[in-house]
A = this chain, B = another copy of it.
Amino acid sequence: MCRLAAYLGTEIPLENIIARPRHSLLVQSLDAQEAKLRVNGDGFGIAWYGHLPEPGLFKDVLPAWADTNLRSICRLVRSPLFLAHVRAATTGATSRDNCHPFTYGSWSFMHNGGIGDFPLIRRDMELLIPDPYYGARRGTTDSELFFHLLLTNGLETDPLQALRISIAQVLELVDRHRATEKPVRLTCVFSEGTRIFAFRYSNDGQAPSLYRSDNLDHGGRAVASEPLEGQCARWKPLLENMLLEISAEGTIELPLLADGALADPAPGAAAVPVQERAAAGPA
């Protein structure tokens, strides 16, 4: 489990979200209140948007609370849109490559939760990813792979549809490999530099917590695993199965499931390895 936060609004120093609030992400890294694991000390990461389409990326393996670089960067760097993540490694080594967020071109992505029994479906999940995205794989987490699956399924053109297909594919693989002992829990936040997307999905109704606030100082909007100022009226919990799309214009909530069901994995989408599909490549 992990804790995360993201912000969109007027340009502010990163610390206004990550370090300064009473229950900031740094505080949550040492003392999470709504997570299975109270301590999130296995690395951290931030992705922030500036004068380039591609976000800046800063990740390290130290606990967020102890990293002097993080503190300095959060104080000096200002951004109108950024993502931040503190990690509690459930499996695998602590390495920069396994820290969130992950980036691809202008996209950044972070995840809280887990694709239960991931080792059982890892291979087939990898086969769904075409080479251009697969070649960008740096670490070994289920999170990064799910991000690449989203990209494969059209994240760059239709995030909602990409999500529907990707979740359906994961569920199909889980089902096929009877990898059902552990739940699939996906609380994800991602961006392409102008909007923040966020959703909670699980197959056991227990996706990690996520809250939103639409009226921070100066009109900023944010999501966070736990309210940054402690429980208060400014922060509202996100329901499961809703996709939040936050932009300068406002916040839209879209049902993640079309007509109560996930998208049909579509013409062979889930079952057929990428090699055998028509030479699609990334959209």
Which residues from chain A sit less than 8 Å from chain B, CB to CB?
Answer: 13, 30, 39, 41-42, 48, 50-52, 54-63, 66-69, 72-73, 75-78, 89, 92-97, 119, 122-123, 126, 131, 134-135, 137-140, 275
Contact = CB atoms under 8 A, between A and B. Distances in A.
A62 B44 CA distance: 13
Contacts of A134: 122-123
The complex is assembled from copies of this chain, and their number is: 4
Given A77-B56, A119-B135, A138-B140, A42 B69 contact: no
A42 B65 CA distance: 9
Contacts of A69: 57-60, 69, 96
10 shortest interchain CB distances as A-B pairs: A56-B76, A66-B94, A41-B41, A57-B72, A95-B95, A50-B76, A56-B72, A58-B69, A41-B63, A39-B39
Contacts of A78: 50-51
A63 B87 CA distance: 13
A75 B56 contact: yes
A122 to B, nearest CB: 7
A176 to B, nearest CB: 13
Nearest to A74: B56
A42 B66 CA distance: 7
A97 B93 CA distance: 8
